[in-house]
Amino acid sequence: MKNIHSFDPEVAASLELELNRQRDGLEMIPSENFVSEAVLEALGSVTTNKYAEGYPGKRYYGGCEYIDTIEQLAIDRAKKIFGAEHVNVQPLSGAPANIAAYEALLDHGDTVLGMDLSHGGHLTHGHPVTQSSKIYNFVRYKTNAEGKLDLDNLREMAIEHKPKLILVGYSAYSREIDFERVQEIADEVGAMTMADIAHIAGLIAAGEMNNPVPIFDIVTTTTHKTLRGPRGGMIMCKKKHAKAVDKAVFPGLQGGPHENVITAKAIAFKEAMQPEFKEYAKQIKANAKVLEVELGSRGFKLMFGGTDNHLLLIDVTPKDVTGHEAETALDKAGITVNKNMIPDDPRKPLDPSGIRLGTPALTTRGMKEDEMRKVADWIDRAISARNDDDELSKIKAEVEEMTKNFPLYEKLSYTE
């Protein structure tokens, strides 16, 4: 069989350009990371050839004995990492995992208390544009005037709306979550609890943030982001919900699982069990704190008052720039972030007031506090010079020079 570069040079050329973009730039989108070479290898392994509808020991296809071993390894490792009673590693991504979780626990029309998207929630937490919002009655809570999650207000809303499910966990909220207090509120009103820990799963796995898995009814996550595995999803739950969860995933929502991704999940979970991963997670938070201080001192307005995790949500309008303009300028400077709405943003999602950035990918490359200080300076300079392409090119050259000290996939090439 031919390699990519000999069979399809057009695709190979684009892959090489993307590889160089990742090598030469600063990847700061908080939901992105760099997987290990072992995870990359697993994604392209022979397990991609195998259909395996069903679950280990209960398949609808023959020839699954080795696939069963791999998937069970992924399940057992996730149980150990998070203290889970039951794990389903088959969800294709975080959004399908959330949809399956709703299907497992709820009847159509049930009320769910979830976070408003602009205050740090996720589309699948009940945003009106999503299908789930048409199936269930989502009531959305917000942060308070100080930008913090107000659990007293959450309790008041729970008493008023009597939800069947209280949902916490966010895509742009940067503070710790008191899961035990949320469970107390749920117990008071007779609700079930769900946490979406997609962004902070790696920090939880390393013991650097509170873990809802032993407390809540059900917990969903992606397996990339801070967990640094392949792009995929996972559901963890109490044993009493196990059958409903498995049925909701297959055959309720999905067909054959992507066993090459599950293979990569198993490897990533083993990586997360190593002592080095704990140090990595600590450094993620340390790097984010440096950015908090450095960007705050340069006049950026930090949402939620700062960060306890891996990300920062920043209102850039005090710099007389929109989120879209800031993202574009930073792209030209070799720094990748994403434009993002801020709480009660008066602007539109495609041209919001803020940007969202984080430290997982930079930390994977070995960058620490000194590099974060340089990064903060480059961010400030690039946004200030957003209309000066010469200055942005100069910053990009400085970025590329620094990244040479933190090599990425040194032996990988798609054109040789």
Check if 231 is active-site. yes
Q: 266 and 114 in contact (C-beta within 8 Å)?
A: no
| Active-site option among 225, 228, 381, 386 | 225
Q: Which candidate, 232, 127, 108, places its Cα nearest to that of 170?
A: 127
| Active-site option among 47, 130, 222, 364 | 222
Check if 225 is active-site. yes
DSSP string, 125-153: GT-TTSSHHHHSEEEEE-B-TTSSB-HHH
| Active-site option among 53, 68, 110, 388 | 53
Check if 282 is active-site. no
Check if 196 is active-site. yes
| Active-site option among 103, 196, 246, 325 | 196
Which of 270-273's residues contact partners 24+ apart within 8 Å by CB, and which partners? 270/77, 271/36, 271/38, 271/39, 271/228, 271/229, 272/81, 272/202, 272/205, 272/206, 272/227, 272/228, 272/229, 273/77, 273/80, 273/81
- What residues contact residue 160 under an 8 Å CB cut-off, 6+ apart? none
Measured over the CA atoms of residue 408, residue 409, residue 410 and residue 416, the dihedral's sign is: negative
| Active-site option among 8, 51, 282, 298 | 51
Helix (H) or strand (E) holding 358: strand 354-358
Residues designated catalytic: 51, 53, 196, 222, 225, 231
